[in-house]
Amino acid sequence: MAAVDSLNLSRVSRKSEEAPDPDAELARKALYYMFLMREVEERIEKRLYRQGKIVGGVYVGRGQEAICVGAGLAADPQDVLFPCHRDMALYFIRGIQPREVLAQYMGRVGGPTRGKDGNMHMGDLNRRIVAIISAMAASVPVSAGAAMALKYQGSRNCVLVFFGDGATSRGDFHEGINMAAVMKAPLVLICNNNAYAYSTPVHKQMACANVADKGPGYGVPAEIVDGNDFFAVHRATARAIAHAREGLGPYLIECKTFRMTGHAAHDSAFYVPKHLFEEWAAKDPILRLERHMIENGIATREEIDAMYARIRAEVDEAQAWAEQSPFPDPSELLTNVYEEK
């Protein structure tokens, strides 16, 4: 698990007299990861990218953090994750450090791919986290195969695969979920339905109302959750994982959310009606979790702010480290195409 240095939210909450509250503990962890993700992505998008220190595409999950954090924290460390491009916190949850992620974005050797690939195209088999390829939904059949393998190995673990609404249109989504269903493979499919795929609104992506409506056609239970509600995502994922561990096969969760940015850093999202951003800003998952924590006495405003400050400092350090990380030597161009003996 991640070295969660900044996660020392005072354990002395107003309920401190009572036994440690697992819900409170979870909320603190969740807020930590959600804010960490947002902070790292803000650096990437609003600083490093604009400063030209990051080249290439930059996609962020601003406003969607509850999904990857909710699902990621529901999983066991031995469950296998297939993040998509707006799921950065999954890496942190699995212990990949912010500095490594920042180095990855800047093409430095300090990143998990040593500059071979960029941005969220990273993975680490030791941490059971698999790198996407760019083709949307290509991970779905691969995750199905990973889930089949876990079953083959007699493992009680499962696989969680993440993707967007747009990805569901691809043949690979279909073939992957269908095969997993036929095989009763322990696969949890987590769709972030953020209303857009690049400029394409979801009603131009599909003619049904919900991604979850696709479940019955695969014989896969499907549920819809508020993707901006960390607890809702977490509970649904826990249900899905339990289903998978019981050998009942795949489970589809549609997390309704909203993409609070353009598709990527270069995209102004001019095609998105302004009022939607305003409406969804009010539903921000971080604000929402903060509110929950304060209202339920899990943390005070001051404690939260102090945690944020620590995270910012942690990310400052990470950024400094990453910027010092060297670029790969051109000789690395030719390495690792095949196994080197």
Partner 1 sequence: MPTTYLEAIRQGIWEEMERDPNVFCIGEDIGVYGGAFKVTAGMLEAFGEKRVVDTPISESAIVGAAIGASLMGLRPIAEMQYADFISCAFDQVVNFAAKCRYRWNAPVPIVVRAPSGGGTHGGPFHSQSPEAWFVHTPGLKVVMPGTARDAKGLIKAAIRDNDPVIFFEHKALYRRLKEEIPEGDYTVPIGKARVFREGKDLSIITYGAMLYVAQEAAETLEKEGVSTEIIDMRTLLPIDEETVLASVKKTSRAILLHEATLTGGFGAEIAARIAEKAFEYLDAPIARVAAPDTPIPFSTPLEQAFFPNADKVLEKARWLCAY
Contacts to a second copy from residues 126-185, by CB under 8 A: 169-175, 178-179, 181-182, 184
Question: Binding Mg ion by CB under 5 A: which of 145, 164, 227, 250?
Answer: 164
336 binds partner 1 (CB under 8 A): yes
- Burial class of residue 112, CB neighbours in 10 A (0-12, 13-18, 19+): buried
Q: Is 214 in the site for ligand TPP (CB under 6 A)?
A: no
Counting every residue, how long is the chain? 341
196-197 and 200-201 beta bridge pairing:
antiparallel
Measured distance CA(30)–CA(25) in Å, rounded: 9
Choose among ligand TPP, Mg ion, a second copy, none what residue 220 binds, the Cβ cut-off being 5 to 8 Å by kind: a second copy
Burial of 334 (0-12, 13-18, 19+ CB in 10 A): exposed
Is 252 a binder of ligand TPP (CB under 6 A)?
no
Interface with ligand TPP in residues 182-211 (CB under 6 A) = 192, 194, 196-198
Binding span for a second copy by CB under 8 A among 107-115, 199-207, 253-261, 303-311: 199-207
Scan residues 184-213 and list those touching partner 1 (CB under 8 A).
197-200, 204-206
Which of the ranges 28-36, 144-152, 220-228, 235-243 carries the binding residues for partner 1, by CB under 8 A?
A: 144-152
Q: Which of partner 1, Mg ion, a second copy, none is residue 324 near (CB under 5 to 8 Å by kind)? A: none
Q: Which residues pair with 254 in a beta bridge?
A: 191, 224
Contact 289, 29 (CB under 8 A): no
> Could you give the 3-state DSSP secondary structure of residue 222?
strand
Cβ proximity to a second copy, 100 vs 254, nearer residue = 254
Sequence-ordered list of residues with C-beta below 8 angstroms from that of 245, at least 6 positions apart, any chain: 156, 157, 158, 186
